[in-house]
Structure 1
Amino acid sequence: MNKNMLLLFTGAALLLLVAMPISFVLLQAVFPQLNSGSFAAPFSAFARLFADARFPGLLTGTLQLGTGVALGSALLGIPLGALRGLFALPFAALWDALFLIPFLFPPYLAALSWMLALQSRGYVEQLSAIDLNNLLFSLPGMVAVMTLNVFPVVYFAVSRSMAASGSRLADVARVHGAGPWRAFWRVSLPLALPAIASSLLLAFTLAIEEYGVPAALGTRSGIAVLTTGIEQRLADWPIDMPGAAGLSVVLVAIACVAYALQGRLTVGSNVETTSGKPVPVVPRPLGAARYPVMLLFTLVALLAVAMPLASMLVTALTRTLSGGLQWHNLSFSHFSALFDRQGDALAALGTSLGLALATALIVGAVGLLAAWLVVAQRVRFARAIDALSLFPAALPGIVVGVGLILAWDRRFWPLTPYNTWGILLLAYCCLLLPYPVRYVSAAIKQIGSNLEAAARVHGASAAQGLRLILLPLVWPSLLAAMMMVFAVASRELVTSLLLAPAGVETVSVFVWRQFEQGSVGDGMAMASLAVILTLAVMLTAIKLQNRPAR
């Protein structure tokens, strides 16, 4: 297979996985009568959408949630990240591992765990007689739950950035008369500003794209956001496809505006050292601040990690919720029920694992080819391939779900994956494609082009150079990306809820429906198994990615 064939295959895969669902969302939003084959009354759906009395509330709720989570993540992530990056923090590796767990913990599971802990007669009230139900089911409660789940993206970005720049330049400022705070604000913080801006943007977009937390907490508090509004238009009769498509376009537009705003705010803010030499990383001792800092890290770890995990595990081990936190109420009956439920739980687990494995293999192959064509080969359509392969990173899962429904629920298709497990596979592949593209692109840039060029000089074709030289070198990064894809796909919620056909159930759908049916213990037992599997796979992937190159 030559390079042109690989280019054709990659282009066709990107058009199928990314361009097709997004194009149908845009077409349906612009032409509301598209389902009947008519292009009449273009843009009229937007007029109805903006005139809808519910739209301002959806837009306001989304912006408030995203802004609140971004600010909360900044308040937690920046100070903790600065302490981790600039100082000799005791048990630093332990804190990194602990703060990785909330980001790997599915947000909808975190929301359900906090519900069980803080709602009336929940675990906190049983232990302390403090009722935090009203706080949980409010906008600040939603922001707090999402912040504890998302802040690690800011923490890791800031800590890695400040660790890379080190404290040497700040020490130089101190020598020339600057105080510690002035050195931090004028030297250390500007060096980390690009990382801070990009991580806060990611926190904002993760918050506005989330469905599980608003659906679990916002429904009972009367707070609606765009994601729940889209789902409602698809779930309630009559189904409002133009309205769902219009809200999807608005949601994507908000994410794109956030990216553009972040770019404008950081223009001219990049700070580089001019010594031409790597800056040594010399963490400073904490001194007298050692114990207050340790206390701060401990409190955050308790809130972000211990509380939701303990709530989930206690519920899975509790025979009945009404029995409360009593020794005689503890049992493994819910775990046993997973294997006694006429195969439903095992079927859901098998479906999720099978789809996750297929997704990892497909996006691994497509991502490898896309990164190779863009970075190593610099083919003619490199910019288009790069844009299509990375664009899903800005796409909410619910928008991808809407696009796939609009694209494949058509009478003119002789064969369609709609209403089969294939539609879930397409959704997962679209959403998770950026993982291998980013990992492999970074690895190829580190390798350079000399080895592949040498192979070409000795008669190897481009495809042979990819298979025999480049693939073995980038394999650790590609494998790590595929394992990340496997772990994330095995727990994906929103597209699974939208697209899963009758008789096909994934782990996330099983857990969500157990809560809706009141079988909370069975749901949390399945969630415990899923979290253990996800954490094991993702931690292995991160270990592979961070392994020193040979």
Structure 2
Amino acid sequence: MVLLHSLFPDSVFDMLAPFKVLSNPGLFSYFWNSIVLGAWVVLGSTLLALPMAFLSARTTIGRHAWLDVVLIIPFMTPPYIGSMGWILFMQRRGFAEQLFPAAAKLTPHFFSLFGMVAIMSLHLFPFLYLILRNALQRIGGSLEEAGSVHGGGVFYMLRRVVFPLLLGSYAMGALLIFVKTIAEFGTPATFGRQIGFYVLTSEIHRYTSNWPIDFGTATSLASVLLGACLVFWYIQNIISRRYQYNTLGGKGMRTRILPLRGWRAVLGWGYTIGLLLLSIAIPYFSIIATSLQKLRGDGLAWHNVTLAHYGELLRPGSKGWQALMNSLGLAGIAATVAVLIGLFLVLQMGSMKRWTERGLDMLSLLPNTVPGIVIVVGLILFWNAPWMPLPIYNTYSMVVLTYVVFYLPYSVQYIKASASQIDGSLLQAGKVFGGKPLYIFRRIALPLLVPGVLAGWMMTFTISARELVASLMVLPPSMQVTATYIFSQFEQGEVSLGMAMAVVSVGFTTLVLVIMNHLGADRK
């Protein structure tokens, strides 16, 4: 429906309509801003995720299981909430200046493209961290020892052994981050607006929400964004096929764990603590401090602290409590449906050698290549059409369907990353010993895919629980979730109550992730 409307911008067919909008210099500059922002965030996320993945997979720091849960907290935080946290911390007379007056000199430098890239990188790096850590854990120490036996130094083994084995998984993660960045609306709408950095998503939102509404131009811009994402998907596909290696076979495997002592321990833990400080401590200090304030104008002071906002939210039967329960229930159902569909799709993709399998991979990624607000409009047009026999529009089923469509690509990518490292000899061995297809899947393939399935479930649950754009547009009128509740509190000027909901919702989702992480540990 989105593509159809983009080719009929004025009810007249025009094949070139999506490209004609770029003849407007202003719109082209927004398109270029989107591409530049995506590239910088991929680089920033890589610089944050790669060292942390190595520390977690190859050093004694990885023995601390709580890190896996804590490092996913930045992504559990809604983007616009994280942006608001940084804005409240770094703005003039913000928390940074109240705590450290000299921080006033940093404010002009932070409110720039650098600050926007930093905020989005700190939000998205858990994507890449989980993928790279899992890939590093699948690379047996015997491969590196073989390089050492043949005279290879540390940097040579990294360049010729480790990095090539990581490149396929890295390409998948980098593509997800790039697509997520250029399709993001929350951070550009909050932080980007303050620094005057506009991207295509903000323009698409303007065309679909401000009078006069021009859905033809909006869908044309979305189609251009889709084309750019497909180009990067094709590049990622080439890299993944060229650098795909089977690192999980029938033989035993052990991973080299490096003990950290002395200055290495200082550097390792220093980097870990610094990353946690920037990605969690600072924004959450702002969020929590704001949620506890009676009056924002009184600043940080003990007489300005209150728990009344939390008492209101956690009171059974209150609007805030109902919104929280709705979010957890809908996100849990959507995540379960998404991983089941994702598992089925990955099994159908097979070795990715045939064009039909690669086409299925492309289709599974498409929902993440169009800004969410445009996809929601397309879903509404489709499911609300007069000829549609299933009346699910304006029901809870429509909400679950929208979440599944939005976040199915994450489940597919995580499960595919696990499936790509399973050696075919394992499945062939099951056939040799008389195993039926269902038995081989249940006793061989599925147990090896469980880490990817759990990672996909956790990521889908996390982002579904805080989805804003889809919730605003498809929720039944009498229903609220945490994202719409927070948004409405901001609209009404109750920032402290909105921040309290952010803290409570993240706390509940963290509890669910702890349970799922424990189940995943039992499967290893």
Structure 1 and Structure 2 fold alike (TM over 0.5):
yes
- Please give the alpha-carbon distance, in whole angstroms, between the structure 1 residues aligned to 2:155 and 2:445: 47
- Please give the alpha-carbon distance, in whole angstroms, between the structure 2 residues aligned to 1:175 and 1:333: 65
Q: Does 1:240 align with 2:214?
A: yes
Which of 21, 26, 29 is the equivalent residue of 2:3? 26
Q: Does 1:106 align with 2:83?
A: no
- Please give the alpha-carbon distance, in whole angstroms, between the structure 1 residues aligned to 2:458 and 2:163: 34
Q: For the Cα contact (< 8 Å) 1:49–1:243, is it kept in 2? A: yes
Q: Structure 2 counterpart of 1:103, which letter?
A: F
Report what 2:113 is aligned to: 139
- The secondary structure found in structure 2 opposite 1:54 is helix
Which of 399, 404, 424 is the equivalent residue of 1:424? 399
- Please give the alpha-carbon distance, in whole angstroms, between the structure 2 residues aligned to 1:340 and 1:527: 16
- The secondary structure found in structure 1 opposite 2:176 is helix
Q: Structure 2 counterpart of 1:194, which letter?
A: G
- Please give the alpha-carbon distance, in whole angstroms, between the structure 1 residues aligned to 2:25 and 2:415: 46
Shift of 1:541: 2.4
Report what 1:115 is aligned to: 87
Q: Structure 1 counterpart of 2:100, which letter?
A: S
Report what 1:7 is aligned to: none
Shift of 1:416: 5.2
* 1:28-47 map, 5 Å: 28-34=5-11, 40-43=12-15, 45-46=17-18
Report what 2:237 is aligned to: 263
Report what 2:136 is aligned to: 162
Report what 2:289 is aligned to: 314
Shift of 1:455: 12
Number of equivalent positions: 512
Q: Structure 2 counterpart of 1:80, which letter?
A: M
Amino-acid identity (%): 33
- Please give the alpha-carbon distance, in whole angstroms, between the structure 2 residues aligned to 1:186 and 1:476: 29
Report what 2:197 is aligned to: 223
- Please give the alpha-carbon distance, in whole angstroms, between the structure 2 residues aligned to 1:469 and 1:181: 39
- Please give the alpha-carbon distance, in whole angstroms, between the structure 1 residues aligned to 2:47 and 2:92: 29
Shift of 1:99: 1.8
Q: Does 1:251 align with 2:225?
A: yes
Going from structure 1 to structure 2, the CA distance change for 1:469 and 1:396 (only over 3 Å counts) comes to farther
Report what 1:187 is aligned to: 161
Q: Deviations over 1:491-521 (max 9, x none)?
A: 1112223444655432112212322332110
Q: For the Cα contact (< 8 Å) 2:116–2:191, is it kept in 1? A: yes
Q: What runs of 5+ residues in structure 2 fail to find an aligned partner?
A: 351-355
- Please give the alpha-carbon distance, in whole angstroms, between the structure 2 residues aligned to 1:293 and 1:498: 45
Report what 1:334 is aligned to: 309
Going from structure 1 to structure 2, the CA distance change for 1:238 and 1:94 (only over 3 Å counts) comes to same
- The secondary structure found in structure 2 opposite 1:43 is coil
Q: Deviations over 1:384-422 (max 9, x none)?
A: 777655543555433421322332454565875555555
- Please give the alpha-carbon distance, in whole angstroms, between the structure 2 residues aligned to 1:116 and 1:341: 30
- Please give the alpha-carbon distance, in whole angstroms, between the structure 2 residues aligned to 1:75 and 1:134: 24
Which of 57, 60, 66 is the equivalent residue of 1:88? 60
Q: Deviations over 1:359-380 (max 9, x none)?
A: 34654665566667777xxxxx
Q: For the Cα contact (< 8 Å) 2:55–2:62, is it kept in 1? A: no
Q: What runs of 5+ residues in structure 1 fail to find an aligned partner?
A: 1-23, 35-39, 376-380
Q: Structure 1 counterpart of 2:406, which letter?
A: L
Q: For the Cα contact (< 8 Å) 1:484–1:537, is it kept in 2? A: no
Q: For the Cα contact (< 8 Å) 2:69–2:513, is it kept in 1? A: no
Q: Deviations over 1:147-201 (max 9, x none)?
A: 1111223333333333332454444444544443333333332332222232222
* 1:151-550 map, 5 Å: 151-265=125-239, 268-270=242-244, 277-286=251-260, 288-338=263-313, 343-360=318-335, 362-363=337-338, 388-389=363-364, 391-408=366-383, 410=385, 417-418=392-393, 422-434=397-409, 485-500=460-475, 502-548=477-523
- Please give the alpha-carbon distance, in whole angstroms, between the structure 2 residues aligned to 1:448 and 1:399: 42
Shift of 1:542: 3.3
Report what 2:353 is aligned to: none
Q: Mean Cα displacement is larger for which, 363-372 or 77-86?
A: 363-372
CA RMSD of aligned residues (A): 4.1
Q: For the Cα contact (< 8 Å) 2:138–2:248, is it kept in 1? A: no
Q: Deviations over 1:287-311 (max 9, x none)?
A: 5422122212211111112122222
Q: For the Cα contact (< 8 Å) 1:488–1:534, is it kept in 2? A: no
Q: For the Cα contact (< 8 Å) 2:69–2:510, is it kept in 1? A: no
- The secondary structure found in structure 1 opposite 2:60 is coil
- Please give the alpha-carbon distance, in whole angstroms, between the structure 2 residues aligned to 1:414 and 1:515: 38
Q: For the Cα contact (< 8 Å) 2:80–2:190, is it kept in 1? A: yes
- The secondary structure found in structure 2 opposite 1:145 is helix
Report what 1:60 is aligned to: 32
Q: For the Cα contact (< 8 Å) 2:74–2:279, is it kept in 1? A: yes
Q: Structure 1 counterpart of 2:9, which letter?
A: P
Q: For the Cα contact (< 8 Å) 2:207–2:215, is it kept in 1? A: yes
Report what 1:18 is aligned to: none
Q: Structure 1 counterpart of 2:268, which letter?
A: V
